[in-house]
Amino acid sequence: MSFETARERMVDRLVTRGAVDRDATAEALRSVPRHEFVPPDRREAAYRDRPLPIGGGQTISAPHMVGMMTDLLALDADDRVLEIGTGCGYHAAVTAEVVDDGSLYSVEYDPDLAENARSRLDDLGYDVRVRVGDGHEGWPDHAPYDAAYLTCAPAEMPDAIVEQVRPGGTIVGPVGESRQRLVRLRRRADGGIDRETHGGVRFVPMRRGD
C-alpha cells in the first residue's frame, strides 16, 4: 500500500471513530506526509495511530492526539500560534496546514531536533519559525498569540506562556508530573482563566535547565 493510501485510511478511521471532528483538522492530517518526519526504519509504521520515537529519547505523538489537540484549539486561518516542543516538526506541519503561512512560532529545547525540524519543514514547504530555547519562557518577541499548545508536559502551565496569549485566546497541552492531564485554558477578557480537562495523557516531560 502506498503511503498516501495508508494515510487516507488512517484519517478515515480517525474521523469515523470520532477522534477528529473538524474538517480543517482532517484535511491537515490528510495533507502532512508523516512518513517524512519519522526515522527511516519507522516509515512503515508512520500511518499506524501510534506514538513513534524520533531520537534523543523523544517521541512524536500519535496522530489521534495531534488531531484532538488541533480540534481543541479550533484555530482560524489568520491566528498566530505558539508551539512548545517542535520535536520532528510533524505536529507543527499539521498546524501550519490550518493557519496562514508564517503564523506558527515553535520553541524546541534540543538544538539538534530544532535544526532537523527546521530543514525538514523547509524542504516540505512549511513556513514555520523555529527557535532553540526553553519553552517555559514562551517566545515573547512575537506575542501576543491567539493560541498556544505544548507537546511536552510542564509540572504546571508556565506563566510566561499564559501571558503571551491574548485575552480570549486558548492554550492546549498536557500538565502534570506522574499523572498528566490534557487541559484547555481560555484567557478571559477580565483576566481570569477558564480551565477544562480532557482526560489522562502521557507526554514527555518539559525539560528545564538540565
- Residue whose CB is less far from ligand SAH, 137 or 194: 137
Residue with cell 531520537: 55
- Sign of the CA dihedral running 62, 143, 146, 128: negative
Least Å distance, CB 14 to ligand SAH, is: 16
- Residue whose CB is less far from ligand SAH, 119 or 188: 119
Beta carbons within 8 Å of 176's beta carbon, 6+ residues apart = 153, 155
Least Å distance, CB 161 to ligand SAH, is: 10
Return the residue nearest ligand SAH (CB atom): 87
Q: Decide: 50 and 62 in contact? Cβ < 8 Å.
A: yes
CA nearest neighbour of 83 among 179, 164, 168: 164
Active site residue 106: no
Residues that bind ligand SAH (CB under 6 A): 54, 58-61, 84-85, 87-88, 90-91, 107-110, 113, 134-136, 151-152, 204, 206-208
Least Å distance, CB 208 to ligand SAH, is: 6
- Residue whose CB is less far from ligand SAH, 143 or 204: 204
Question: Where would I find the beta strands (DSSP E) of 9-156?
Answer: 52-55, 58-60, 81-84, 104-108, 128-132, 145-150
Q: Which of these is catalytic: 31, 61, 106, 178?
A: 61
- Residue whose CB is less far from ligand SAH, 84 or 175: 84
Question: Where would I find the beta strands (DSSP E) of 17-132?
Answer: 52-55, 58-60, 81-84, 104-108, 128-132
Catalytic positions, please? Answer: 61
